[in-house]
Amino acid sequence: MRIGVLSDTHIPDIADKLPEKMLEDFKTVDMVIHAGDITDLGVLDEIKKFCGNIKAVRGNMDSYATRAKLQEKEIIKLGNFIIGVMHGRGHPNGLIELMKRAFKDDRSQLVIFGHSHSPLELKEEGVIYFNPGSPTDTLFAPYKSYGIIEIDKDNKIKTQIIKI
């Protein structure tokens, strides 16, 4: 399974459109996960042109209409592999602890989150915490980015941050 991962697109507030390079990469994935701060639901429609299988959660900056259609937290089960997805909130230094608390009972092997706009790959206590950064903003990061995650048949995970 190959998964495209993004967060914090903030369209149209920060950018007018999604990066072409990322959309081209999303043609090669089985699923796309957006970890919130989509802002406008049209972003998901645009991604669906490249990959029809999309999962998303709401973020703290999403519009009322977007927040009404999306959950704060999602659990995605791929066979016996479990992915937790949540945007995050509060100070960026507390995001990992927030994710640990949010998914402590879900047995997630992979937790995808956003909010900080800064990419992160971290493994703690057998769980991979993955923040793809933002493909449209560098306010809190040295570069724009998104992620690609590959999960093989033995549930081995390969994560990759793609710099734009």
The pLDDT assigned to 109 comes to: 96
The pLDDT assigned to 139 comes to: 83
Neighbours of 49 (CB within 10 A): 10
Question: Is the pTM higher than 0.75?
Answer: yes
The pLDDT assigned to 114 comes to: 97
Task: Extract the tokens encoding 28.
Answer: 């090669």
Total number of domains constituting the chain: 1
Task: Extract the tokens encoding 44.
Answer: 């998901």
pLDDT tens digit at each of 164 positions of the chain: 999 999 999 999 989 999 999 999 999 999 999 999 999 899 999 999 999 999 999 999 998 989 999 999 999 999 889 999 999 998 878 899 999 999 999 999 999 999 999 999 999 999 999 999 999 999 889 999 999 999 999 999 999 999 99
* Listed residue (138, 94, 132, 135) closest to 110, CA to CA: 132
CATH number for 123: 3.60.21.10
Distance between CA atoms of residues 132 and 146, nearest Å: 5
In terms of residue numbers, what domain contains 80? 2-163
* Listed residue (57, 62, 10, 55) closest to 32, CA to CA: 55
Contact between 87 and 57 (Cβ < 8 Å): yes
The pLDDT assigned to 115 comes to: 96
* Listed residue (153, 2, 161) closest to 81, CA to CA: 153
The pLDDT assigned to 140 comes to: 86
